[in-house]
């Protein structure tokens, strides 16, 4: 379990973009972060992914303050985190399967990056993950011919096959048509519950969060103002987010 306390990030011009955020992330939970543009959703995801350092606050993993841990412990934890960009960077000329196998440099052990070697059970794992995201039949297809939603699915499969326990997805449904957006949300939810992965997805559309997420976090001006479990947002809560 990850527990965040007092997470605050002030940027050099003096603006506080994350303001005393307190929350916890239980394993296997699908969390959606909603809030208006500029409310701090991406900033929060980046802080959770350890991509950007905060000014103050604690980040506890299974009871231990990560910032007080040594380099190796931090690196081990980093390997379990995947950050999915809105437009994932993939090897365009390679197949879906190759992309899943290749992985992101952060998650791959150094020896694998240097040798480029792939074990046969890696193939099995990659195919299994492509099946989970509904792309097994397209494993051999070049990704340059694939849609935005399919590319997101490949990025998700890639992060999970390389052992991500925490996936931070910044607008995973942006640019997708309503049907594909729902399919993506369904896949994320399934992966959370079946694999025990924790997924935090920033979303613009509150109704998608309400339909699929286990928890909805609401951001406003860098503050986490809502943490709703198992119910829709009230009209007052929704209006507080705009
Ligand atoms: N590295 C940075 N340097 C300066 N300002 C930043 C930085 N990162 C974020 N901000 C500012 O912090 C605020 C929150 O930005 P963030 O990208 O987290 O918002 P968001 O809720 O994800 O918005 P959107 O929905 O438009 O993607 C914005 O005012 C943004 O301009």
- Partners of 142 in the beta sheet? 95
Which residue, among 125, 135, 111, has the nearest Cα to 162 in the 3D structure?
A: 125
Burial of 53 (0-12, 13-18, 19+ CB in 10 A): exposed
pLDDT at residue 49, rounded to an integer: 92
Judge contact between 118 and 97, C-beta under 8 A: no
Number of neighbouring beta carbons within 10 Å of residue 100: 30
pLDDT at residue 113, rounded to an integer: 53
What residue owns the CA closest to ligand 1's atom 17? Answer: 42
Model ipTM value: 0.94
- Ligand 1 probe mutation, 15, 16, 34, 40, most atoms within 8 A of CB: 40
Distance CA 112, CA 116 (A): 5
Say how many Å lie between the first and final Cα of the chain, rounded.
30
Distance from chain centroid for Cα 234? 26
Q: What residue has token string 């986490």? A: 224
162-177 pLDDT tens trace: 778 999 999 988 878 8
Q: Is the CB of 40 under 6 A from ligand 1?
A: yes
Q: Is the CB of 35 under 6 A from ligand 1?
A: yes
Evaluate if residue 145 carries a pLDDT over 60: yes
Architecture of domain 26-50+78-240: 3-Layer(aba) Sandwich (3.40)
Q: Within 13 Å of residue 90, how many CA atoms lie on the same side as its CB?
A: 31
Evaluate if residue 123 carries a pLDDT over 60: yes
Residue 119: CB partners within 8 Å, gap ≥ 6? none
Length of the chain: 242
Indicate the SS3 state at residue 148.
Answer: helix
Relative to the CA of 219, which ligand 1 atom is closest?
A: 21
Q: Average pLDDT of 78-102?
A: 90
Evaluate if residue 111 carries a pLDDT over 70: no
- As a whole number of Å, the CA-based R_g of the chain is 18
Q: Is the CB of 43 under 6 A from ligand 1?
A: yes
- Angle at CA of residue 179, ends 238 and 241, nearest 5°: 10
Distance CA 123, CA 130 (A): 10
Q: Where are the domains of the chain?
A: 26-50+78-240
Evaluate if residue 105 carries a pLDDT over 50: no
Does the model's pTM come out above 0.90?
no
């Amino acid at each position: 379990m990850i527990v965040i306390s007092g997470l605050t990030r002030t940027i050099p011009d003096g603006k506080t973009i994350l303001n005393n955020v307190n929350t916890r992330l239980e394993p296997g939970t699908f969390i959606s972060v909603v809030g208006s543009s500029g409310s701090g959703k991406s900033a929060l995801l980046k802080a959770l992914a350890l991509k950007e350092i905060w000014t103050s606050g604690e980040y506890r993993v299974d009871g231990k303050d990560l910032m007080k841990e040594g380099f190796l412990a931090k690196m081990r934890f980093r390997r379990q985190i995947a950050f999915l960009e809105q437009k994932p960077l993939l090897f365009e000329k390679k197949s879906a399967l190759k992309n899943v196998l290749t992985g992101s440099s952060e998650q791959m052990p150094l020896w694998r990056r240097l040798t480029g070697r792939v074990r046969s059970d890696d193939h099995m794992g990659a195919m299994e993950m492509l099946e989970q995201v509904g792309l097994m039949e397209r494993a051999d297809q070049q990704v340059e011919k694939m849609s935005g939603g399919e590319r997101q699915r490949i990025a998700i499969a890639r992060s999970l096959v390389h052992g991500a326990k925490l996936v931070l997805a910044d607008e995973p449904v942006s640019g997708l048509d309503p049907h594909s957006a729902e399919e993506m949300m369904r896949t994320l939810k399934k992966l959370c519950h079946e694999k025990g992965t924790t997924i935090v997805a920033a979303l613009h559309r509150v109704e998608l969060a309400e339909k699929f997420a286990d928890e909805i976090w609401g951001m406003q001006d860098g503050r986490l103002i809502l943490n709703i479990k198992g119910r829709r947002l009230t009209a007052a809560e929704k209006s507080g987010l705009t």
